Amino acid sequence: MKNQNSNIDKDVFLAQWLDGQLSDIELKNLVSEADFKVYKKLKKGIEVSEKLEAPIDQSFVEIQKRITQKQQEKQPKVRPLYRNWIVGVAASIVLLFGLFSLFGNDNVIIETGFGENKTIALLDGSEVILNSKSKITYDKDDWENNRVLTLDGEAYFKVEKGNTFTVKTANGFVTVLGTQFNVNSTNDFFDVVCYEGKVSVNTTTSEHVLLPTNSLRKINGDPTELSKTQLIKPTWVSGESTFKSVPIKYVISALEDQYNLSFNSESIDDSIIFTGSFPHNNIDVALKTVFETMNIKYSEKEERNIKLGY
């Protein structure tokens, strides 16, 4: 039945629904799933507009008039609802009320600041611990059918058993079915460690399945490296960042994220390899641990701006 309804019919259905003459279920049976989602978002925008100040109330009256006009239109010359009428009303709402975000996905965005960790409980009971200067994004309305989460930065996941859970990053996809794992994805650095269960990792150049203690790392476009870990969980969760054979520029980046610092590393070779760790609660110890062991001198030229040299 949905495919048989013309765009003119949809105009009338929408007007009747907004006027309370059709229920959500009745409208959903009359239009496509995609149109129904768009209409729900439009209605949300109109409901928000009712709460705004008096000057905006007049604009809302104009929108109501447009709805009434559409309800009265009978001639075939009416333009398609989806491409014209909805866009017109949406544009009015955007310009007047700043509600453009209502027409995108219903995304939940969670971010952390410098030196900040956050523990997030997802809708299915899974847990995510987000490291400093990191961000996760997911669609809460579609989570039941599509458990996909986008990560920029580093996070430790404890996934409930059930449907497939996928972490999407700029460097690749990590897919699991009930497990514990860590993902670090920033620019040209990609590191995945499996602590429990099984993890499938797909990059643009390779595909791997990681079992407990297995890890995968891809740096700066180099071939993927596979190794093992003796750890039962990432150390940063307990307040200490640990690195194994990593170019020091990534360690410097981690220091910046934890302590809100800026480093001038032009005078050093930032590709030299570092193995070690630094604490998250003592900046002096952190700097000494990283740079003194590498025979690198450091001095604060401006507040929180440190110059490195030999």
- d(C-alpha 229, C-alpha 219), whole Å: 18
pLDDT exceeding 90 applies to what percent of the chain?
54
Higher pLDDT, 165 or 48: 165
Nearest in space to 105 (alpha carbons), one of 137, 127, 79? 137
Strands 173-176 and 180-186: unpaired
Higher pLDDT, 50 or 16: 16
Per-residue confidence band for 61, with pLDDT thresholds at 50, 70 and 90: low
- d(C-alpha 210, C-alpha 191), whole Å: 12
| Residue 80 reports pLDDT greater than 50 | no
Write out pLDDT tens, residues 190-202. 999 999 999 999 9
Write out pLDDT tens, residues 12-42. 777 777 777 778 777 777 777 767 777 776 7
| Residue 55 reports pLDDT greater than 60 | no
Answer CATH for 107-228 from 2.60.120.1440, 2.160.10.10, 3.40.50.11540, 1.10.3210.10: 2.60.120.1440
Nearest in space to 110 (alpha carbons), one of 171, 153, 143? 153
Answer CATH for 239-309 from 3.90.230.10, 3.30.70.1290, 3.40.1390.20, 3.55.50.30: 3.55.50.30
Residue 13 DSSP symbol: H
| Residue 167 reports pLDDT greater than 60 | yes
Please, what's the b/e burial string for 132-151 (b: 16 or more CB within 10 A of its CB; e: otherwise)? bbbebbbbeeebeeebbbbb
Q: Output the average pLDDT for the chain.
A: 81
User: What pTM does this model have?
Assistant: 0.66
Beta strands in the chain (DSSP E): 107-111, 118-121, 127-130, 135-139, 148-158, 165-168, 173-176, 180-186, 189-196, 199-202, 207-210, 214-219, 225-228, 240-247, 262-264, 273-279, 297-302, 305-309
Number of neighbours of residue 187 by Cβ within 10 angstroms: 11
Place of tokens 């690749």: 172
172: left (phi over 0), alpha (psi -120 to 50) or beta: left
Number of neighbours of residue 73 by Cβ within 10 angstroms: 16
- d(C-alpha 82, C-alpha 267), whole Å: 58
> CATH 2.60.120.1440 occupies which residues in the chain?
107-228
> CATH 3.55.50.30 occupies which residues in the chain?
239-309
| Residue 142 reports pLDDT greater than 60 | yes
| Residue 146 reports pLDDT greater than 80 | yes
Per-residue confidence band for 288, with pLDDT thresholds at 50, 70 and 90: very high
SS3 309: strand
| Residue 301 reports pLDDT greater than 80 | no
pLDDT in the model for residue 83: 43
Q: Supply 77's token pair.
A: 């010359």
| Residue 129 reports pLDDT greater than 80 | yes
Per-residue confidence band for 69, with pLDDT thresholds at 50, 70 and 90: low
Write out pLDDT tens, residues 95-128. 444 444 444 557 899 999 999 999 999 988 899 9
Per-residue confidence band for 2, with pLDDT thresholds at 50, 70 and 90: very low
Burial of 229 (0-12, 13-18, 19+ CB in 10 A): middle
| Residue 259 reports pLDDT greater than 50 | yes
- d(C-alpha 194, C-alpha 292), whole Å: 32
Q: What is the dihedral of CA 282, 285, 287, 288, to 10 degrees?
A: 180
